[in-house]
Amino acid sequence: FYMYIMLLSIISINSLINQSIKPILTRSFNNLMVINRVNKVFMSTNEVKPELTELSRLEIRVGKIVEVGRHPEADGLYVEKIDLGEPTGPRTIVSGLVQFCTVDRLLNNNVIVLCNLKPRALKGITSNGMVLCTTSKDETKVDPLIPPPDAPIGQLITFEGHLSEPVEPGNRATKAFTKIADGFYVNEQGVATYNGIPFSTPNGPVTSTLIGKIS
């Protein structure tokens, strides 16, 4: 008889627990499902979807200066050979950095190169790109942008929210750069940016020793 009474008591307690706990668990589960759905909607609306912009048209890569010398016809210009990992070999690029950088500062160092500007002759030597540099706020110093140490030669620089679809070297790229050039700037943290968006590589952001405009 006592065993029977105990069994009935256990059954009653289990029934009471099920009646009180099950609704709570059900509500909790339903709430969790709602939260998950809200989170998914929130995440999908806050994703940065890359767009095709003027910046998308530019080809900006990591290069290494393998040779540098003074321009024979212009005291303020260097003539550099820059390896961009291209099968055609290093490019010739002319830069007006004599006043700001020694040969030792440039030779065998990695830099950031705007690759698809229209080639142009500078005092008889055709320049096939531009080494991107920072100009200090007081315009007394100029120094090349610095890629991450582990970034490979030829690494394409990307920008969050902007597709990367560079055009062939020529007027289209030159016009795109001219149109958006004012947006390039090194911030207070020393990171190269376009309208606040870092110059990015899988190895980290591009940096600079100076704070100021990029050109």
Q: Where are the domains of the chain?
A: 1-47, 55-214
Answer yes or no: CATH 3.30.420.40 is held by domain 55-214: no
Q: What are phi and psi of 70, to 5 degrees?
A: -75, 145
Which helix (DSSP H) or strand (DSSP E) does residue 19 occupy?
A: helix 2-46
Is the pLDDT reported for residue 44 higher than 50?
A: no
Q: Is the pLDDT of residue 119 over 90?
A: yes
**Whole-number pLDDT of residue 50:** 82
pTM given for the model:
0.78
Higher pLDDT, 38 or 74: 74
User: What is the pLDDT at residue 34?
Assistant: 44
Alpha helix segments (H runs only) across 87-209: 103-106, 171-180
Average pLDDT over residues 178-183: 97
Sign of CA dihedral 98, 102, 108, 113: negative
- In this prediction, residue 40 carries a pLDDT of 55
pLDDT at 104: 96
Q: What is the pLDDT of residue 19?
A: 63
